[in-house]
Amino acid sequence: METTVKNSSSDGEWKVVLPSKGRQGRRRKPKPKGQAEEEEQPWKSDDLEIDPQRQARLKQKMEISLKKIESSNFYTVFLEQLKSPEVSNHIRLVLGSETQLQMVMYGIGSIESYESPRFQLSIAILMKREFDWVGDNIEVFDPVLSATESSYLESLGCSVLSVNEQARREALKPTLFFMPHCEANLYSNLLQANWRMDRLSKIALFGNSFQMYEEQVSFDAEVICATKRIIAAQSVTSEFAIETESDDYFAAFHDSSWHFFSSGIDSELPLFVSDEF
């Protein structure tokens, strides 16, 4: 049972919706209630062949995307926000005594087929160029990536993971999780794997606005299950919304935010969040 966030590329809207059929909606053996939904598994792209012509076209499309974003007002505002005292102070706290954040990118989508994933990837690459605190090696995983896309990503200096971690990576070192418009259960998995302040405090997360999840009241058991940890984390979450600035960047970045986690005098991480329905 997968709760998903509707792809923004089609109509510019994301919301928590019920399981989709198709590639990710394949039938799996039912699991007992409360058991983790998805296990980490080795992964290989379905499409095994690297097509040099497709890769050349993808390179061209990415160059266009990078140029467009770099010269946009959207990017200027995006950088200003990251350099603002408030956000940069959070980044300093995440870094602690380290000098770089490891970037892990989950759920980028098909960069060959859609413009939104290309804009999102462009932003990640431009961040790496702009800020010394972004680690050189970006780790990427999305089960939809083709062999051609993976090979192109590797040519950019990214590492495409061969294991589907189900976003359960433990932040043992300062990590920037770049998860544009991912499914709610992926954010939830990430939080669950790091549900203690010494781990959460090592995370900078780019993804769907947690506040929006809190505002979307649902009476559906699956939706409640997928979002309750996100909502439980609200007491320790500081969120900074992304300004989309123009219609051009709405589909790729709407309802997205930076999230940082720290507890204070009035806020504590709830010790227990049930994983039962």
Ligand X SMILES: C[S@@+](CC[C@H](N)C(=O)[O-])C[C@H]1O[C@@H](n2cnc3c(N)ncnc32)[C@H](O)[C@@H]1O
User: What residue ranges bind ligand X (CB under 6 A)?
Assistant: 5, 7-9, 24, 106-109, 114, 116-117, 120, 141-144, 164, 166-167, 180-183, 186
What is the nearest approach in angstroms of ligand X to the Cβ of residue 264? 31
Cα of first residue to Cα of last residue in the chain, in angstroms, is 12
Judged by beta carbon, residue 140 or residue 236, the one nearer ligand X is 140
Q: Which residue's structure tokens are 């076209």?
A: 57
Judged by beta carbon, residue 17 or residue 269, the one nearer ligand X is 17
How far apart, in whole angstroms, are the C-alpha atoms of residue 228 and residue 146?
A: 33
What is the nearest approach in angstroms of ligand X to the Cβ of residue 109? 3
What is the nearest approach in angstroms of ligand X to the Cβ of residue 141? 5
Judged by beta carbon, residue 94 or residue 121, the one nearer ligand X is 121
- Cα–Cα distances (Å) from 185 to 38, 83, 107, 205, 275, in that order, read 10, 30, 12, 15, 12
Q: Which residue's structure tokens are 């300093």?
A: 92
Under 8 Å between Cβ of 229 and 189: no
Judged by beta carbon, residue 107 or residue 135, the one nearer ligand X is 107
**Other CB atoms within 10 A of residue 35 CB:** 10
Judged by beta carbon, residue 5 or residue 233, the one nearer ligand X is 5
What is the nearest approach in angstroms of ligand X to the Cβ of residue 158? 14
What is the nearest approach in angstroms of ligand X to the Cβ of residue 78? 16
Tokens of 92: 């300093």
